[in-house]
């Protein structure tokens, strides 16, 4: 939505998720589109608000999209990964390095309980660095994201009573703050103003944490 407000002309959305009631409090769609694919509901929302932005919605997992067409990303100017899932991000990072031309990629995610958020730019301007570079292996505690404001070795996922799905607790304000830094970074990349591969972070209150 922030990209559309910023004047980006064409946006392709890829997501297989369905908007669930427990996700509405921190999702830009709110209750609009509950029990419908997120990409379809978001396309409808953006189409109604920003008619000069062309939205392509693909209700599928990114893994299936790649399996169907390995060249799917080669016509893009920028890729933004906001899955919040390191396993998928590792897979995509390796795929982009091996199978696509030099397309800038932004990975963005929120730390638990609003302690912070991050946007990492990779594959930009022929510079070194990738998503995997921010991780290190702790042989007792496993992989650790060095950009995180949380100490290693902690588990933050929670469940909602009566619901089997796991989620990492953060608020809509945390998501919005993170989307702002990711969007600013994206606009700089598209304008050719960003010449490196930075990680941009914001740090919030530790009270909830």
CB 134 within 8 A of CB 199: yes
Dist. CA 26–CA 23, nearest whole Å: 6
Q: For the chain, 209 residues long, give each residue's pLDDT as a single digit of tens.
A: 999 999 999 999 999 999 888 777 778 888 888 999 999 999 999 999 998 999 999 999 999 999 999 999 999 999 999 998 899 999 999 999 888 778 999 999 998 888 899 999 999 988 888 899 899 888 887 788 999 998 888 877 665 444 445 555 667 788 899 999 999 999 999 999 999 999 999 998 888 77
CB 200 within 8 A of CB 119: yes
Question: Both tokens of residue 38?
Answer: 């997120």
pTM score: 0.89
Cα–Cα distances in angstroms (integers) from residue 158 to residues 38, 78, 161, 168, 196, in the given order: 22, 33, 10, 6, 36
């Amino acid at each position: 939505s922030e990209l559309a407000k910023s004047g980006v002309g064409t946006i392709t959305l890829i997501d297989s998720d369905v908007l669930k009631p427990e996700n509405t409090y921190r999702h830009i769609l709110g209750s609009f589109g509950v029990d419908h694919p997120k990409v379809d509901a978001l396309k409808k929302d953006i189409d109604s608000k920003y008619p000069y932005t062309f939205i392509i919605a693909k209700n599928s997992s990114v893994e299936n999209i790649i399996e169907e067409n390995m060249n799917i990303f080669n016509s893009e100017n920028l890729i933004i990964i906001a899955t919040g899932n390191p396993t998928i991000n590792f897979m995509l990072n390796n795929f982009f390095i091996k199978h696509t031309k030099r397309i800038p990629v932004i990975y963005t995610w929120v730390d638990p309980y609003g302690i912070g958020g991050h946007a990492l730019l990779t594959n930009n301007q022929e510079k070194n660095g990738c998503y995997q570079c921010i991780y290190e292996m702790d042989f007792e505690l496993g992989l650790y994201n060095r950009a995180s404001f949380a100490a290693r070795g902690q588990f933050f996922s929670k469940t909602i009573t009566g619901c089997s799905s796991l989620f990492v607790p953060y608020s809509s304000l945390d998501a919005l703050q993170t989307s702002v830094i990711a969007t600013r970074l994206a606009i700089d990349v598209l304008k050719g103003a960003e010449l490196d591969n930075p990680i941009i972070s914001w740090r919030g209150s530790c009270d909830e944490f």
